[in-house]
């Protein structure tokens, strides 16, 4: 079987003992004190190649958001010099303080590689994002969160404490990484596909049951 891996470009993971204790702690951290905020079309927009209609790179059918892009596609704006993307950009829930959480069930079909599928946007220059979750096929780069993510649904939870500058990442309820933030004065969440180095010709990710949550004071 070909390895396919889910990576982060921030590191410093911590150990939490047995799998059972890590899963229990993970669910506790994910659930404790958070309230779910509205998430429907007024609260997100689609960033896609500027010369294509939305329905040629994004669909929402039976509760599943599907985002796809090709390596030869245009940028998302005429003036952008970034790589192609089709991303669900959260709007209306931008934040500069507090503790915020993204939750979503992701699915990456076999062959998609060299792509960002989720990010915490916003950081101190020269970086643009506090966190980038990427999928690579084959070689290991950075730290591996899950070595086998093709063709199955997985639950991704990302908790960003903007005040303490801390980020926690959970896969299927297990705390996989805890790391320092990267500054910035405004943040938001994104998911979908955003081409990275060594990108495959076609990139796709699917998302369902997406939630944006904020921790109560």
Q: Domain segments of the chain: what residues?
A: 4-45+57-209
Reading the block at residue 109, the tokens are 């079909």
- The average pLDDT across 115-128 equals 92
The per-residue pLDDT for range 150-209, each reduced to its tens digit, is: 999 999 999 999 999 999 999 899 888 888 899 999 999 999 999 999 999 999 999 999
The pLDDT, as a whole number, for residue 15 is: 45
Indicate whether 113 pLDDT > 90. yes
* 111 vs 201: CA distance, rounded Å: 9
Q: What is the dihedral of CA 84, 90, 95, 101, to 10 degrees?
A: -100
Closest CA to 210 of 125, 77, 99, 103: 103
Taking the alpha carbons of 149, 168, 173, 208 in that order, is the dihedral positive or negative?
negative
* 213 vs 217: CA distance, rounded Å: 13
Kind of pairing between the strands at 58-61 and 115-121: unpaired
Reading the block at residue 76, the tokens are 């998302």
Quick one: DSSP state of residue 22?
Answer: H
pTM over 0.85: yes
Closest CA to 115 of 133, 131, 142: 133
4-45+57-209: CATH number: 2.60.120.200
- For the CA atoms of the chain, what is the radius of gyration? 16
């Amino acid at each position: 079987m070909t390895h396919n891996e889910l990576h982060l470009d921030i590191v410093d993971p911590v150990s939490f003992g047995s799998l059972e204790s890590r899963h229990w702690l993970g669910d506790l951290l994910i659930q404790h004190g958070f309230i779910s905020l509205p998430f429907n079309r007024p609260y997100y927009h689609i960033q896609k190649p500027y010369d294509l209609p939305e329905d040629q790179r994004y669909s929402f059918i039976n509760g599943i958001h599907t985002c796809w892009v090709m390596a030869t596609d245009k940028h998302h704006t005429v003036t952008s010099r970034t790589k192609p993307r089709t991303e669900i950009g959260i709007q209306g829930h931008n934040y500069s303080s507090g503790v915020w959480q993204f939750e979503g069930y992701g699915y990456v079909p076999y062959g998609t590689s060299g792509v960002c599928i989720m990010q915490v946007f916003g950081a101190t220059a020269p970086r643009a994002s506090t966190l980038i979750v990427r999928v690579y096929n084959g070689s290991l780069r950075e730290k591996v969160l899950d070595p086998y993510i093709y063709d199955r649904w997985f639950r991704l939870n990302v908790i960003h404490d903007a005040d303490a500058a801390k980020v926690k990442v959970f896969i299927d309820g297990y705390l996989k990484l805890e790391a320092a933030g990267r500054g910035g004065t405004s943040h938001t969440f994104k998911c979908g596909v955003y081409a990275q180095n060594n990108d495959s010709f076609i990139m796709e990710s699917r998302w369902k049951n997406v939630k944006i949550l904020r921790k109560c004071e």
